Every structure is written in C-alpha cells, then in structure tokens.
Amino acid sequence: MRRVMVMGSSGSGKSTFARRLSAATGLPMVSIDALYWQPGWRPSDPFSFERRMTEAANEPTWIMDGNYISHCGELRRGLADTIVWFDLPRWVCMSGIFRRVITSYGQVRPEMAAGCPEQFDAEFIRYVWTYRRQQRPRLLAFFKGLRPDQTFITFTHRRQADDYLAHRATGLVTAGA
C-alpha cells in the first residue's frame, strides 16, 4: 500500500478514514479539497488545480481524500494501488454533513484549505442529497477501469471502515518504508 484513493460521498467519513489510515501507515494524506479551494471558498483556476493534482499524484506515496475524477482521475487511478470507496446510504451521509456543520461551523477543518470555514451551504446539501443518483454512477463507471492488480475496498457501513483500521491497517507496511 503506497498510493491510496479514498472516495465516496461527502459526509461518508472518508476524510476521517484517510487521516486515520495515514496515521496507521505513515503515508502522507492529500486532501483534494485543500488543493482545489482558495480562501473564501473560491475555486482554483482549472490550470493551477490540474498542476497541483498532477504534482501530488506523482509523489511516491499518498492517501488522496476526494473524488474529482474529472481532474487527473485517470492519472490517479493508474498510479493507485488501493482504492477505498465509501458507498454509504444517503441518510448516513446527510447526517454526517449536518453533524459536521453543527460541530465545526465557522472553523476550518483539517482537510480544508485555509480561509474556508465550515458553513451551511444549501447547494452543497443538494449535492449530497443527489449524490447516489448523479455522482455514484460516474464513480461506478470510473471503477470499471481498475486493473486486476489494484485492491478495491468498499465500505457500505462506517463500522466496516473502523474494523478495517482496527484489524488491518495496523499491520500494513508501506514498501520502501
């Protein structure tokens, strides 16, 4: 395990998992949101974002938290040896989003870019609400491009992610470490 993509809906727990996996393996965590967003929740210009994504993807080791398959998705998929997908029900993701807004409102979360405090954003809530219908099919198509030598892990319950970290990640050693 040297390059790990952690994907799924917002609110599924993928950032928390990526941080915990990073701590267990020593692999550096890369938040794609932190690469994309600029202070004040301004999106990066496409050229700069693509450059930052390419540089991060070409590092020898990483755990990348986020989807953004239209930006270096093929490159990251080709370089990753492990893909972790949080395929959780809508209600779990929505409750995760609301809990996050309540507990972190006005604060910048560790995986976010500086100057992007947690806020209530109706458009974002709508994105999470429609994720299974609109984004999930795109990820399923993306996963069809995986190679047989890549490890694909799907979590349908948060407890599975916790169990994975408790029982498997502690024994993982990165090559070359």
pLDDT tens-digit map of 119-144: 898 998 999 999 999 999 999 999 99
For the chain, the C-alpha Rg in angstroms (whole number) is 16
Residue 139 identity: L
Three-state DSSP class for 85?
A: strand
Cβ atoms within 10 Å of 34's Cβ, excluding its own: 20
Cα distance between residue 31 and residue 34, in whole Å: 5
19-44 pLDDT tens trace: 999 999 999 999 999 999 999 999 99
Which domains are delineated in the chain? 3-166 (3.40.50.300)
41-72 pLDDT tens trace: 999 999 999 999 999 999 999 999 999 898 88
Q: What percent of the chain has pLDDT over 90?
A: 78
Helix 122-134 × helix 136-143 angle, to 10°: 50
Do 1 and 149 form a contact (C-beta atoms < 8 A)?
no
